[in-house]
Structure 1
Amino acid sequence: MTAHGSITPGKETTTRIFSDSARVAFTAAYPDQAAPLTHDLVDHPLLTLAALADLAERMPAGSVEYNLGALPLGVRPDETPSNGLTLGETIRTIETNGSWAVLKNVERDAIYGALLDQALAELEPMVARRTGPMLHREAFIFLSSPGSVTPFHMDPEHNILLQIRGTKTMTVFPARDEELVPPCKSEDFHNGGHRNLEWRDAFLSRGIPVLLEPGDAIHVPVKAPHFVQNGSAVSISLSITWRSERSVAEGELHSFNGLLRRWKMPIGKVTRWPEKQIGRRFVYRIMRKLGA
C-alpha cells in the first residue's frame, strides 16, 4: 500500500484518485461535454517507465501498438511508420527514440485492474444517474517521446485521460458534428473501420486545445474527435474508459445504417439519445442473429 494507490490486487488506499472539485466538474460535463479535471496518480509506482516496460513485456502482442511518433495530423493507418525496435526497447528508451506506444486493456493484469476499479468506483454514481451502469470497463496507457503526435481520430468509449508524466496538448472537437465525422464514417467505424479521421486545416478553429500537465485530466465524450501533441519531455498518460447503454446503442444504430446503405435502403437518423430508439435497435439485433 502506498499513498498513491494499491499495489496488491484487491487492496485499495483510502486516498481518493479524484477530488471533490474534479467530481463536481465531471458531473456537470458528463456525458456530452469535454471537461478539464484533476487526479492524484502522479508518481504512482505502477505508472513509472520501468513498471510499464515490465507490464508491456508480459502483455499479448495484440494488446500493444507502437510506431514512430512524428506523424502528421492526418495519416492513413497503413502508412504509419515502424520505429524498428521491440516494445520493451521502445519504452525503456522512449526519451530518445522518437516513438509513441499504447498498452491496451491493461485491466487484464490484476494489479492494473484493481487501479481501474478504484478510479471508476469514484465516478460510478454520477455515471449511473445519466447513462446507466458502466459497461466494458477498460484501461489504456500511452507513452510518447518528445514531440510525438497522435493523429486526428475518435474513440467509441466514454473516456477520461489522466496525465501522469510530461505534458501534452489535446485538442478536442465537438461530438456529433457530421462535417467532422460524416455518417458514412461512423457506419464504417462501428463495423470495424479505423479510428483515424480525415483532417482538414479548416477544422482547427472548431477545436479547443487543453494543456495537460502531471495531475491534470480531461473527460472526452464518446466519439468526440481529437488529436494530441506531446510536449518537450516524455509523456505517460492513463486512459480509463467505459461503455454505456447510450454508447452501445449508438454503435448498433450506425452499424444498422451501414447495412441499410449497402442495400440501398433508407437509413435512419441517430438521435442524441440513441438508447431510446428501441425499435430500430431490436430490428438490427434480429438481423444480426440471422447473419445479415
Structure 2
Amino acid sequence: MTVHRPIAADSGAIFPPQAIADFGAAYPDRPASLSHNMAGHPLLTLDALAALAERMPATSVEYNLGKLPLGVQPEDTPSNGLTLGETIRTIESNGSWAVLKNVERDDAYGALLDGALAELASTVQDRTGPMLHREAFIFLSSPGSVTPFHMDPEHNILLQIMGVKTMTVFPARDEDLVPAQKSEDFHGGGHRNLVWQDGFKARGTAFRLEAGDAIHVPVKAPHFVENGPTVSVSLSVTWRSERSVAEGELHSFNALLRKRGLPTGRVSERPERQGLRRFAYRIMRKLGA
C-alpha cells in the first residue's frame, strides 16, 4: 500500500518559477516542456539507485533488454539474464531498461516526491482537485534503448536526471490510437502497451530531454521513448485526481455494459461531471456485477 504523507514544501525549489508557470498553462490536458533543479542529486546516482533497487520487493521492479520495437506484446519482451543490481551497475554496456516503482515508500525518495509535488499542488487543486495516490518511479536506460508505445493512468511529470532521451507524446482521447475497448481492458488491469502503426508517428510531438529538462504528460496520453547515446536516468512524479479516477470508473462501467451486450456511454473530457453514470457503476460493483 502506498504511504501518503502530507505535501510539504522543501527549502530548495525543484521547479523554477517559469516551469511552474508553463505547467499551469498546460495542465491538465496538454504536454509541456519544463525544467527542474534535480540533476546531480546524490539519491539519483547509479550507485544509489542500485542500492535502492536491491532493497525493494521484486514486485516493485521491472527490467528487460532495452532495444525493442515501438510495438511489442508484453509476453514477447526479452529478459537480459542479469540481476537487477547488475543491470543498474552495468547499464552503460548491457543494453537494458529498468524501472523502480513506488520509490516513495522509501523515506528519502518519498521526500523528493513530496518536495516536487508541493510546488505544483495549488495549480492542480484549482484544476482537478487534490492530488491523490501520489507515486514516484525511476527509469534507467542503456544507450539506444526504446520504451515501446504505451499509456499510463496518472498525471505525470518526468524529470530527466542524466543523459538524453526523446519522448514522443500523442493526444489523449484519440480513439484511433487507443480504441475504447483498449481503455476498458486497461482499466480492468490490462497491460499499458498499445498497438503501434507506422502512420501514427505524424500525430505525435517529439520532446528532446537533457539533464535538467522535464515534461508534463497528460493522463493516458500515448507515448514512446527513445534513449540517446549515453545512460539515461529519469524520475517520474505522478498523482491521480478526481478526473483520472472518474475516467477509469466510466471505462470500467462501459466494460460491464459491453460484456452484457448493453449500449456503452461516451466518456467526456470532464468525466468527473458524469456523476450519474459513476454512481451506477459503483452500485453495480457493490452488487458484484
Q: Residue 271 in 1 paired to residue 259 in 2?
A: no
Secondary structure of the 1:280 match is: helix
Q: 2:35 aligns with which of 38, 43, 51?
A: 38
TM-score, length basis structure 1:
0.96
Q: Where does 1:196-215 land on structure 2 (aligned, <5 Å)?
A: 196-215=193-212
Distance 1:115 1:22 in 2: 17
Letter in 1 for 2:143: P
Query: 1:135 — aligned with what?
Result: 132
Aligned to 2:20: 23
The equivalent of 1:177 in structure 2 is 174
**2:51: which partner in 1?**
54
Q: 1:137: how far off?
A: 0.1
Residue of structure 1 equivalent to 2:72: 75
Q: How many residues align?
A: 283
CA contact (8 A) 2:9 2:119 kept: no
Cross-structure match for 1:117: 114
1:6 maps to: none
SS state at 1:50 partner: helix
Distance in 2, Cα, partners of 1:188 & 1:217: 30
Compute the displacement of 1:12 (Å): 7.2
RMSD between aligned alpha carbons? 1.1
CA distance in 1, matches of 2:261, 2:68: 37
Residue from 255, 264, 267 that aligns with 1:258: 255
Residues of 2 paired with 1:88 and 1:116: CA distance?
Answer: 23
Amino acid at match of 2:264: I
Name the amino acid aligned to 2:103: V
Determine whether 1:194 maps to 2:191. yes
Aligned residue for 1:98?
95
Q: TM-score, normalization: structure 2?
A: 0.97
Q: Unaligned 5+ residue runs, structure 1? A: 1-9
Matched AA of 2:187: H
Secondary structure of the residue aligned to 1:210 is strand
The amino acid that maps onto 1:227 is: F
Identity of aligned residues (%): 74
- Structure 1 residue 289: deviation in Å? 1.2
